[in-house]
């Protein structure tokens, strides 16, 4: 079974370097165009089942890459809730003691004030993926960079979520044998 996780296209939050997750930003026009170019020049994996996190940016990305193929929404694959830091940049936050506390130390366990931790995001995403993996059918998911990184870090038991960073429109395909991850490759592949 192959599980493919692809990051949504570019948003205003990406361009401005904002901490955001729960804010339901749309793709930028240039983000849409970049995805259309990728689709023309790359082979995106096909699957038996398709999913998104349900956020506007993942729905728009899905539509560009896969068109009218039926898919399900799994809200637990949404990005981190950045709480009090949502829609703010490092420059805006750098002198805030709560922000400094959040970004230092164990950045997986630290909780954004009025938000959630990296561990919480990964736990809810893994719980949402459990029945998909158990079903053993190839699946494609359009989701978020933090979700992808946290899940892959946990599945393979090494590195940090940042070691599995996916650029907009890119991601990873994990092959499972008997419910266990055995290999990983970047996706999409050039035509």
CA distances from 23 to 11, 82, 159, 166 (A): 11, 9, 28, 20
Q: How confident is the model at residue 107 (pLDDT cuts 50, 70, 90)?
A: confident
Which tens digits make up the pLDDT trace of 159-180? 888 899 999 999 999 999 999 9
Token representation of residue 158? 């090494």
pLDDT of 30 above 90: yes
Which tens digits make up the pLDDT trace of 44-101? 999 999 999 999 999 999 999 999 999 999 999 999 999 999 999 999 999 999 999 9
pLDDT of residue 3: 98
pLDDT of 106 above 90: no
Residue 5 CB coordination number (10 Å) = 27
User: Please, are residues 93 and 118 in contact by the beta-carbon 8 Å criterion?
Assistant: no
Terminal CA-to-CA distance of the chain, rounded, Å? 23
pLDDT of residue 158: 86
Phi and psi based region of residue 24 (left: phi greater than 0; alpha: psi -120 to 50; beta: remaining):
beta
Q: Which domains does the chain have, with CATH numbers?
A: 2-190 (3.40.50.1240)
pLDDT of residue 159: 86
Q: Per-residue pLDDT averaged across 89-117, rounded?
A: 93
Which tens digits make up the pLDDT trace of 136-153? 999 999 999 999 999 999
Overall residue count recorded for the chain in this entry:
191
User: Please, are residues 143 and 52 in contact by the beta-carbon 8 Å criterion?
Assistant: yes
């Amino acid at each position: 079974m192959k599980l493919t996780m692809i990051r949504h296209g570019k948003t205003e939050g990406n361009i401005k370097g904002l901490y955001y997750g729960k804010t339901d930003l749309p793709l930028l026009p240039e983000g849409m165009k970049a995805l259309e170019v990728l689709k023309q020049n790359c082979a995106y994996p096909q699957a038996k089942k398709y999913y998104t996190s349900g956020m506007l940016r993942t729905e728009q990305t899905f539509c560009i890459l896969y068109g009218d193929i039926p898919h399900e929404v799994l809200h637990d694959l949404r990005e981190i809730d950045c709480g009090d830091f949502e829609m703010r940049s490092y420059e805006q936050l750098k002198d805030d003691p709560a922000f400094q506390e959040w970004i230092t130390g164990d950045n997986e366990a630290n909780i954004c004030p009025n938000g959630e931790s990296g561990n919480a995001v990964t736990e809810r995403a893994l719980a949402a993926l459990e029945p998909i993996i158990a079903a053993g059918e190839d699946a494609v998911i359009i989701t978020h960079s933090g979700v992808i990184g946290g899940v892959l870090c946990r599945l393979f038991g090494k590195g940090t979520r940042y070691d599995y960073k996916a650029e907009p429109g890119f991601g990873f395909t994990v092959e499972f044998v008997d419910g266990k991850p055995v290999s990983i490759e970047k996706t999409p592949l050039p035509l």
